[in-house]
Amino acid sequence: MPPAPCIRETAISNRYPRLNFTRTRLKHVITTLDAHADEFLGGVPSGELSIVFLDDNALAQLHADFLADPSTTDVITFEGDPTHGVAGEICVSVDTAQAYAKQNGHDFATELLLYVVHGWLHLAGYDDLQPAKKRIMRRAEARALKILMQHKVTPGFALRR
């Protein structure tokens, strides 16, 4: 039985026409992670969390506009302002998840879920810019995915043809 859920507004925007998933199940992913916040540096600050699914071009544009790097990436997070009820935003590249999964023989749905988890962990305070911190984040990702799998909480990500 999963832990008691924390209440959080989660706004989801799917700007990737071929991506299919169940929004309530994705919200349950966030609720489950929030319920285990004490295992992840206290979790994401309170407030609304936004999750946006984009293609590589759109995410690369955000990367260029806000981080002065026009390259593609897997996830970009924007910290919010909890004093104004905003926890932050997680922007995820579906193209990158699809390409990486195919290239490395991984399951697409799990890869995309990992990107959501990765963004949530960034908002919780994890960093992956230095090797030692990256190792800590990778362990946290593995723990988070294990928790989600133990509770059978997945959004059912799939791509339509």
Judge whether 32 and 153 are in contact, CB under 8 Å: yes
Strand residue runs (E) in 27-79: 48-54, 75-79
Digit-coded pLDDT (tens) for 101-157: 999 999 999 999 999 999 999 999 999 999 999 999 999 999 999 999 999 999 999
Contacts of 9 (CB under 8 A, 6+ apart): 47, 48, 49
Judge whether 26 and 51 are in contact, CB under 8 Å: yes
CATH topology of domain 10-153: Collagenase (Catalytic Domain) (3.40.390)
What's at 151, amino acid-wise? H
**Domain boundaries defined on the chain:** 10-153
Which residue's entry shows tokens 């929030």? 34
Digit-coded pLDDT (tens) for 133-145: 999 999 999 999 9
- Give bridge partners of residue 92 from the DSSP assignment: 53, 75
CA dist., res. 32 & res. 44, Å (int): 12
Give residue 6's pLDDT: 53
User: What predicted TM-score, i.e. pTM, was given to this entire model?
Assistant: 0.94
